């Protein structure tokens, strides 16, 4: 199985903060047998997130309030992510 890590961080995408979560998640996935194809740090911008995910997924869309994202893939599964705010 393959995986790609995407961290949403405005400060991280500008180089003001180091992303430690992405590399840690990649190591855990590799230990579980995944082939990690990359780690991205993106600003929290809806259009940029969608364009990046469309490369790796079939159909993707945000909920009307922007708090969740759903995607489909070639495996026929629907995945839903909830975005936490700080």
The string of pLDDT tens digits covering residues 26-69 is: 888 889 888 888 888 888 887 877 777 766 667 777 888 877 77
Name the DSSP class of 34. -
* pLDDT for residue 56: 62
* Banded pLDDT at 16 (limits 50, 70, 90): very high
Backbone angles phi, psi at 26, to 5 degrees: -60, -45
Q: Which residue has the tokens 């700080």?
A: 86
Cα–Cα distance, 11 to 74 (Å, whole number): 33
Q: Which residue has the tokens 């230990």?
A: 31
């Amino acid at each position: 199985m393959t995986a790609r890590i995407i961290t949403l961080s405005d400060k991280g995408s500008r180089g003001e903060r180091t992303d430690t979560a992405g590399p840690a998640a990649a190591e855990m996935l590799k230990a579980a047998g995944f082939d990690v194809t990359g780690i991205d740090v993106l600003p929290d911008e809806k259009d940029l997130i969608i364009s990046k995910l469309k490369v790796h997924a079939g159909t993707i869309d945000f909920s009307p309030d922007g708090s969740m994202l759903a995607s489909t893939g070639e495996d026929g599964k629907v995945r839903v992510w909830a975005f936490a705010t700080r």
